[in-house]
Amino acid sequence: MSPPWPITTPGAAPRSRACGCAIKAACLETAARALAGCAPLLLAGCIPASRADAPPAPRVHPTVVSLNPCADAILAEVADRNQILALSAWSRDPRSTSMDLALAQRLPSTHGTVEEVLALRPDLVIDGRFIAPATASAYARLGLKLETVDLAATVEDARAQVRRLAGLVGHPDRGEALVARMDAVLAAAAPPPGAPPIPAVVWEPGGIVPGQGTLVSDLLVRTGYTNFSALRGLGQADRLPLERMLADPPRVILVADAGDRAAADQDRALAHPALRALTGTTRAAFAPNLLYCGGPTVIRAAQRLAEVRHQILPRRGRGTAAGGGGVMAKGTAR
């Protein structure tokens, strides 16, 4: 599946899906940054070579600008506040943020232009793996150290990413503390020994599902589910036809949408009479910003998955509770 901020895979056309105004704005912003690729090169050419050839000695606790929302959430946990010169603007959007929204709104933000970053003069710039080559070259020419991060595909990837970023900002102990918190929550969210796994599908607008090789797929398995999509050979950001789901319905449909009109228009499949008639399938809300990032997002995602599992399984002496994300009644449309 694709995150709500734009990424591009080498050799493949970018995937797009209507996810509301925030996503459309992201696509326009990405296009503008790509078309402006010559600007950073011209800007870099105006800087004397001596500035790039004689970088200052590295600091133990370097200042940082993050242009990646997954990195934002981790840095907010492991870096000092005075180290963070800016986080990505995505973290200020409640539909795409992977960190505490109030904290993100208190910290400086940037839309990621080279000019903005240069004005801040950070010791370290963190961006996604598929940063435009022209932009990466400009950072190098300007003497700005660039580190890139990828989407974590497993919990082990997420642990490694936390440790790496914590080390980069000079606080490896805080990274270990965050990893320990992640592991503690994962242990608490694990199903009882011998419990049969629950078939579950994560459904995004338009029928996009996470298949093999995704972090949420790993989290599903660790919290007592089987990934319905992965077992049917679907990969990252594949689409699951409604007919295939009706032929062998999952026990749980985790509905991930931002609640906007564009998402609702694409979710008409969830109102299909045949799907509504299913009596053995429960739908539960699953926030879209739990799907893509590691770090502290692993904690919230694991807690939510465990909560849904506890709500749908019969428990002696206890009724079904409506949790923070809400479990929707069986066979009802959103």
CB within 8 A of 184, min separation 6: which ones?
Answer: none
> Based on the domain organization, do 67 and 204 belong to the same domain?
no
Q: Are residues 300 and 216 in the same domain?
A: yes
- The pLDDT, as a whole number, for residue 26 is 44
pLDDT tens for each residue of 278-305? 888 998 999 999 998 999 999 999 999 9
In a domain, 24, yes or no: no
- Indicate the residue among 184, 212, 240 that finishes a domain: 184
pTM score, whole prediction = 0.77
pLDDT for 17 equals 42
181: left (phi over 0), alpha (psi -120 to 50) or beta: alpha
- Please tell me the predicted confidence (pLDDT) of residue 260: 57
How far apart are alpha carbons 246 and 249 in whole angstroms? Answer: 5
- Say if residue 224 is in the same domain as residue 246: yes
Q: Are residues 234 and 136 in the same domain?
A: no
Contact residues for 248 (Cβ-Cβ < 8 A; gap 6+): none
Q: Is residue 52 part of a domain?
A: no
pLDDT of 109: 95
- Predicted confidence at residue 263, as pLDDT, reads 52
Q: How do strand 238-239 and strand 208-209 relate by DSSP bridges?
A: antiparallel
Q: Looking at residue 227, which CATH number applies to its domain?
A: 3.40.50.1980
Give tens-digit pLDDT for 241-282. Answer: 888 888 889 999 999 876 655 555 556 767 778 877 888 899
Residue 232's domain spans which residues? 196-328
Whole-angstrom Cα distance, residue 120 to residue 134?
A: 19
Whether residues 161 and 204 share a domain: the answer is: no
Amino acid at the residue 229: S
The segments of the chain whose pLDDT lies below 70 read 1-2, 4-57, 258-267, 269, 314-334
Structurally, the chain folds into a number of domains equal to: 2
